[in-house]
Amino acid sequence: MSERIFVASTNDGKRAEFAALLAEHGIELGPSVPYPDVEEDADDYLGNAALKAAALREELLRRGIAATLFADDSGLEIDALDGAPGIRSARYGGLELSWSQRRAQLLAALSAVPAERRTARFCCALLAIDEGGRRFEGFGTTRGSIAFAERGTAGFGYDPLFLPEGETRTFAEMSAAEKARSSHRARALRALVAAMRG
């Protein structure tokens, strides 16, 4: 496996998180490469990751770059909402909403749900394609619950609402290193690197 890898993401928070996680494995995250927007209309996380990975690979090859790359798709599944927002987590409430508005909408949907029923899990699927076109997968899940209000300023997305199991702090109240010990994304990446180094 190349010791440099590209990721199909323009999310600065996610890229920074991946860069730190990859560094633990001695892998450098390549520079951001713009690629055509992909309609994430697959039936599951892995399918959406595959769509993004294919789009980035096509762009890299168009530029004459032969490199290993990967893409992710992740979501927050809340039991009291029958698994929503799930695969539509980044589009919950509409593409025009900010993340702050999405979190507010989620809290409103859970306003009458007591603490014991606010169980949830973060899920992440990663799909990598190496220079030769071989594909590798990695999955990760972190169980927890949804707080009654936003807490913390670190992280991104739904991090200010998510309390991982055994913790009294949300992901947004943790340092990047603390979050990496239990995050769905870190678990998925460890599985992906193990599969690729197989």
As annotated, the active-site residues are 73
Residue type for position 150: E
Buried b (16+ CB within 10 A) or exposed e, 49-66: bbbbbbbbbebbeeeeee
**C-alpha pair distances (Å), 74 with each of 29, 46, 96, 121:** 19, 9, 19, 11
Instruction: Give the single-character DSSP code of 85.
Output: B
Bridge pairing between strands 68-78 and 4-7: parallel
Q: What is the C-alpha separation between 139 and 185, in angstroms, rounded?
A: 8
